Amino acid sequence: MNPSPILLEPVRAYSQPLETFASGFRGWSGIRFSTIGWRGEPWWHDLIFVQPRTPQRPGTILEITGWEPNYKDLRMAQEWADASGMTVALLFQIPRQPIEGRIEDELIAYSFSLYLNSKDPADLLLAPMIASSVAALDLIEAPVVVTGASKRGWTTWWVGLHRDERVVGIAPRVFDHLDFAWQQNRQAELWGAPSPQVQDYTEYGWSFDLDNPEVAALIGVVDPHPHRSRLTVPTLVLSGANDPFWCPDPWDTVAPTMPECVSCLSAPNAGHGMADRRWWSASLGAFARDCVEGRSAADETTTRVWRAEAKEPKFVHALWRPVTDGDAALPPLNEQMWTAEMTEVKRADGTRRTTPVRLIAPTD
């Protein structure tokens, strides 16, 4: 398959530093820079650098995020910096919003409408989100591991697919529902309708229906899955097992179709915000360290199986519990309930991976 035209947009990007500044956040430094922006309006971004308390290696973790600089993101970046021994660069204002009164998913859905009228990939909001993220690479120390959550996780996939030699790993967060048409069909199968969390798209009349040739063409441009063969760098897919945006098992069917460089970590009892970082933050830092040093993850040491039960195939409020450690026999399933199951793999360095969540239907 030819590269998506959305990947042609980063070549038009540029990074024009406007000023350097002390961020006001504990003395962390930053750069304000501009990029080509969207539909004739340049964007500017704040790029703030967080240093590890004990620097151990060159390279940078690039966190793609939205809105303005804030302590929450900076505290998270400090955790990653200390876990990896690397600088973390926080790239804010991806996208630069609001635009025409629209923000986030509503803005992306609006851009889909523009694209269907123009067939110009520059009209897709994802195009400048990707381009601005690639432009930021000019301002940070390589090698780089890129991460971002939700729409910025979507962007992270595309930065990896862009194949910039400075990028040695990606870690998209809470965006594990690749193969959009299959995911929508799965939600219809399990729930009878799309998740309420994607109403910004459904209100625009979007149904990712491959029977519609225009929609199929759009999916071919914005869905990373058809372009997965371009992915060659180590990839850690992080998700919340209780995420209300997606069906309970979005990665189970997709994972076998992905390149071998892709692994996953799903956090039990975590939603779209993955607020409890104790489960995954150190693993992300260690992943970045391993990518930069070109080494494999630490050996597996222990495993345990987690399960959650629900009367319906909705696990937003379900409680995940470990049901066994190591090679112990699994308890029998509750045949009257839907069961979601995954295996946690603990590594010698204390970090984690999991298998994709598997959904088991009741039999009684």
Q: Count the domains in the chain.
A: 1
Model pLDDT, residue 350: 84
pLDDT in tens, 137-146: 999 999 999 9
Asked whether residue 200 carries a pLDDT value surpassing 90, the answer given is no
360 assigned to some structural domain: no
- Residues shown for the chain: 364
What pTM does this model have? 0.94
Give 11 or 151, the one with higher predicted confidence: 151
- Alpha-carbon distances of 116 from 121, 128, 265, rounded to whole Å: 10, 17, 35
Q: Which residue has the tokens 């240093």?
A: 51
**Mean pLDDT across the stretch 347-357?**
93
φ/ψ (deg, to 5) at 101 = 80, 5
Greater confidence, 200 or 161? 161
- Mean pLDDT of the chain, nearest integer: 90
Number of H helices, E strands in the chain: 8, 14
Nearest residue to 239 via CA among 126, 132, 123, 356: 356
Range of the domain at 158: 5-300
Please list, in sequence order, all residues whose beta carbon lies within 8 angstroms of the beta carbon of residue 331, skipping any fewer than 6 positions away: 323, 324
Q: How far apart are CA 56 and CA 90, in angstroms?
A: 19
The reported pLDDT for the residue numbered 212 is: 80
CATH of the domain at 191: 3.40.50.1820
Among 264, 268, 248, 265, which residue's Cα sits nearest to residue 256?
Answer: 264
Q: Give CA–CA dist 277/147, Å, rounded.
A: 15
Residues 259, 265, 266, 272: is their CA dihedral positive or negative?
negative
Separation between Cα atoms, residue 291 and residue 30, nearest integer Å? 25
User: What is the per-residue pLDDT for 58?
Assistant: 95
Token readout for 247 is 């069906």
The verdict on residue 286 lying in a domain is yes
What whole-number distance in Å separates Cα of residue 157 and Cα of residue 173?
10
Q: Is residue 211 part of a domain?
A: yes
What does the pLDDT read at residue 296?
82
Looking only at the bridges linking them, the beta strands covering 321-325 and 300-310 are antiparallel
pLDDT-derived band at 210, boundaries 50, 70, 90:
low
Tokens of 264: 């996953």
CA distance 326 to 344: 10
Percent of the chain with pLDDT over 70: 92
In a domain, 326, yes or no: no
Confidence of residue 323 (pLDDT cuts 50, 70, 90): very high
Domain presence at residue 23:
yes
Confidence at residue 326, expressed as pLDDT on a 0 to 100 scale: 74
Q: Tokens in use for 205?
A: 């009349």
Task: Please tell me the distance from the alpha carbon of residue 274 to that of residue 201, in angstroms, as a whole number.
Answer: 23
pLDDT for 329 equals 86
DSSP reduced 3-state for 1: coil
Q: What average pLDDT does this structure show over 172-184?
A: 92
In a domain, 340, yes or no: no
- Predicted confidence band of residue 14 (pLDDT cuts 50, 70, 90): low
Q: What letter would DSSP give residue 66? A: -
pLDDT of residue 299: 81
> In this structure, is residue 153 part of a structural domain?
yes
Half-sphere CA count of 243, side-chain side, radius 13 A: 25
Place of tokens 């660069």: 89
DSSP SS3 for 85: coil
Of the pLDDT bands very low, low, confident and very high (cuts 50, 70, 90), residue 13 is low
* CA–CA dist 230, 160 (Å, integer): 8
327 lies in some domain: no
In this prediction, residue 15 carries a pLDDT of 62
